[in-house]
Structure 1
Amino acid sequence: APGQRLLCWEEVGKGQFLSRGTPGPEPVAPMGSSMEAPAMLEELPPGAAPGKGAHELFGYVGIEAVLDQMRVKTMKTGFEFNIMVVGQSGLGKSTMVNTLFKSKVSRKASQPGQEERIPKTVQLQSVTHVIEEKGVKMKLTVTDTPGFGDQINNENCWDPIIKYINEQYERYLREEILITRKRKIPDTRVHGCVYFVPPTGHWLRPLDLEFMRRLSKIVNVVPVIAKADTLTLEERAEFKQRIQQDLKAHAISVYPQEDFDEDPDDRLLNNVIREKIPFAVVGADQEHQVNGRRVTPGCTLTWVGALPTATSPQPALSCLAVENPMHCEFPMLRDLLIRSHLQDLKDITHNVHYESYRVRRLNESNRVALSPANGLPGKDEDDSNL
């Protein structure tokens, strides 16, 4: 009917979106003008074809509303994040994970009272939790590697870890290439691997170098100096510099990789991060009584001054705040893994590491047919279906 549209305008805030309801008014031309389309407000670059390039809009369209749509959808469905911690026993891996997420999410916290024994071989153990903050749900999987580096002979102790990471890629690939696949494929791929370097104050051990050299090719590796409060500030700075020299000398590319910087802003931020890696961290997840008051979570106590004596049984105590950047670099690690680069970790896992694995496996399938029992093409089927 004249003066009506099938869809009308309903105002929401400063923007408008199409919805079903009462008809809206027809557009009215300004006095003294016709209803012809107005001229473009932005000149085209010389030689540019119409319709290409960014143009200035005539008014508010509502494109930015897609961000709100994505936020609402994410809050409804949640998202997945899978992290692996690797290092020798006693370096505070479980405590660090609990501190990162401010909850008991580590493997040890999920098995209270169980006696901890160092296994004879590397045994990977995963624990999954659903944590929620301000309406946003995250399915967090923490994979621990008890037994890594704890033996007299640690030759090839990284093989079970590499096998586990590739198994998760294989699981995702098998779901992805099914003819009828799930709308949302469960993602168990490892998005980040935090490697704990013992605070020796010297150079990286051959075990550290070989592990990071091999793992950095298939997963995002973030090295940290564990229990950094056992080093003085001078020792910590020298140790960090030696580690950076070792990584550069052996061409080991840890996260964030310089090759994957997408724009100048990312490069500036990542350059600052690369200068700080490896992060010198301290983990703590308990409250303490200090001078008659309870210290907030994320603090640990360290001795300062003289040790206890017969005449002075109470030594001076100082609070080492884990979240204080003047004390340690835990806030930088937390920001990297959660607040600023979490989605980038997932993107690089999918677009780089998983893609490399996928291409290699599909190339192999051209020579050796995959099993039809797993829903994949058999020998007689055309490999081009993959």
Structure 2
Amino acid sequence: GAAVGLGIQMFEEWRAAVNFLPHHRKWGETAGAVTAGGAMDKEYVGFAALPNQLHRKSVKKGFDFTLMVAGESGLGKSTLINSLFLTNLYEDRQVPEASARLSQTLTIERRGVEIEERGVKVKLTLVDTPGFGDSVDCSDCWLPVVKFIEEQFEQYLRDESGLNRKNIQDSRVHCCLYFISPFGRGLRPLDVAFLRAVHEKVNIIPVIGKADALLPQETQALKQKGRWGDCIEAEMSKSSPDLEKGKESIPFAVVGSCEVVRDGRNRPVRGRRYSWGTVEVENPHHCDFLNLRRMLVQTHLQDLKEVTHDLLYEGYRARCLQSLARPGARDRASREHTPRFSPTEAPGPFLASPGHSLQSRPAQLRRMQEMLEKMQAQMQQSQAQGEQSDAL
């Protein structure tokens, strides 16, 4: 009798332990949550809270964004940037005189600021191009911009192919605001040449600066002649209503101002006051500032970063790997400005698969170096055989 009682007690303890465990469910079945009375449902596992974990991690880590502005001087680039992010990035900037701009060469300047809004921190890096289009001879003035963008890709590829990839600094340009002059009759040859040179290397958003200098009819005519919407369309939530609405406004006719003025109803607004009236920056009937800020910051900032990494950077990386994998790649690298790597950090064919990593043990690195040496020996042997066949 004692043995039977002990067996029954053990069975009851086992059944209680089994009932405590969560039940397995098939895919598609929903887990329970907190009931109406406040008690936790037995079938609630907890993986529904994963988005909250990612949110906390992202907010703790912060975000970074690199924005480039390009266009000739006097189109309100610095004022628009200050208006977009409500900051003053050009506090210590000295504007050169008109005579000095004629001989000014294009330079690349970086300015960084950390912005915080409702607990979310964004490290904004602005890449400015003073001197663009200001000289008398503007032929090939976009080449330093193209070189700078490719150098950021090259630096990221070097860091990604290194041994320590935990703290990689992303200095790649995620978006470029290109300013079109409102005083022309459309895109100039310089504008077309620049857009063709960089549209496969960076996301481009064309902007008509100082749109308050145009009549509404002139603004629409200039937009029709300056359509370049396909540059920002790649893989950017094509079904999004915000994107479709924004594409209708491309190129964005904007007005920038950080000054608070009084409108016709004596209300404080950000804008510019003229003798004939007041231009409100955040009035969609006056300019496309709100559409630009919504697309650039509120809805598609992360999309711009993903397009830069998944499409533009991957294309650059694939071209580098293909060029280095072919015979005689090192000779062509010097002519094509392709980055050179040492055998321990060379992105060779063994990096073609996304699952492989250079962050491995020393034995794997030695095997990779042996593979490179074998490839070089085979290349030299094939070249020697080719020379012998030519001699015969």
TM-superposed CA distance for 1:287, in Å, is 2.7
Shift of 1:222: 0.2
| 1:217 partner letter | E
Larger mean Cα displacement after TM superposition, 222-231 or 286-295: 286-295
Identity %: 38
Query: Deviation digits for residues 167-202 of structure 1, max 9, x if unmatched?
Result: 000000000011x22313110000000000000252
Q: Within 2, Cα distance between the matches of 1:115 and 1:140?
A: 25
Q: State the Cα deviation string for residues 277-305 of structure 1 (Å, max 9, x = none).
A: 00110001123467897834x3211231x
Partner Cα distance (1:203, 1:148) in 2: 18
Deviation at 1:70, TM superposition (A): 1.6
Maintained 8 Å contact 2:157/2:317 = yes
Conserved? CA contact 1:377–1:383, under 8 Å: no
Task: Say if 1:201 and 1:236, in contact at 8 Å, map to a contact too.
Answer: no
- Which residue pairs with 1:333 in the alignment? 292
CA shift in 2, pair 1:302/1:63, >3 Å: farther
Match of 1:176 among 146, 160, 171: 160
Query: Which one of 372, 376, 386 corresponds to residue 342 of structure 2?
Result: 372
AA in 2 matched with 1:319: T
Q: How far has the Cα of 1:161 moved from its partner?
A: 0.2
Question: Mapping of 1:1-386 within 5 angstroms?
Answer: 27=19, 55-60=28-33, 61-105=45-89, 108-109=90-91, 111-112=92-93, 117-118=100-101, 120-178=104-162, 180-200=163-183, 202-244=185-227, 247=228, 253-257=230-234, 260-261=235-236, 265-266=239-240, 268-288=241-261, 295-296=268-269, 298-304=270-276, 318-367=277-326, 368=329, 370-372=340-342, 375-376=345-346, 382-383=371-372
Q: Which structure is higher in helix share?
A: 2
Please say if residues 223 and 254 of structure 1, whose CA atoms lie closer than 8 Å, have aligned partners that are also in contact. no
> What residue ranges of structure 2 are gaps of 5+ in the alignment?
1-9, 34-44, 331-339, 349-367, 374-392
Q: What does the per-residue CA deviation read over 1:307-359, in whole Å, with 9 as the maximum and x for residues that have no partner?
A: xxxxxxxxxxx321101111110011101110000000000000010001111
Deviation at 1:84, TM superposition (A): 0.2
Find the aligned partners of 1:285 and 1:159 in 2 and give their Cα distance: 33
Count of residues paired in the alignment? 319
Specify the alignment match of 1:11 in structure 2: none
Structure index of larger Rg: 2
Shift of 1:269: 3.8
Alignment CA distance shift 1:175-1:228 (3 Å): same
Distance in 1 between the 2:11 and 2:280 partners?
A: 70
RMSD: 3.3
What's the offset of the Cα at 1:114?
6.7
TM-score normalised by L of structure 1? 0.74
Give the letter for the 1:382 counterpart.
M
Report if the CA contact (8 A) 1:221-1:255 is conserved: yes
More moved, 62-71 vs 118-127: 62-71
Rate the CA distance shift 1:294–1:103 in 2: closer, same or farther, 3 A. farther
1:322–1:2 Cα change, 3 Å = farther
Letter in 2 for 1:281: V
Residue 95 (structure 1) shift: 0.5
Contact 2:236 2:304 in 1 (8 A): no
- SS state of the match for residue 155, structure 1? coil
Cα offset for 1:153?
A: 1.1
Q: Which amino acid aligns with 1:86?
A: A
Alpha-carbon shift at residue 261 of structure 1 (Å): 5.0
Residue 254 of structure 1: SS of its match in structure 2? helix
Q: Match for 1:137: what amino acid?
A: K
Q: Matched residue of 1:94: which SS?
A: helix
**CA–CA distance in structure 2, aligned partners of residues 163 and 285 of structure 1:** 33
Residue of structure 2 in register with 1:310 after alignment: none
Partners of 1:74 and 1:242 in 2: CA distance: 41
1:3–1:26 Cα contact (<8 Å) kept: no
1:64 positional shift: 3.7
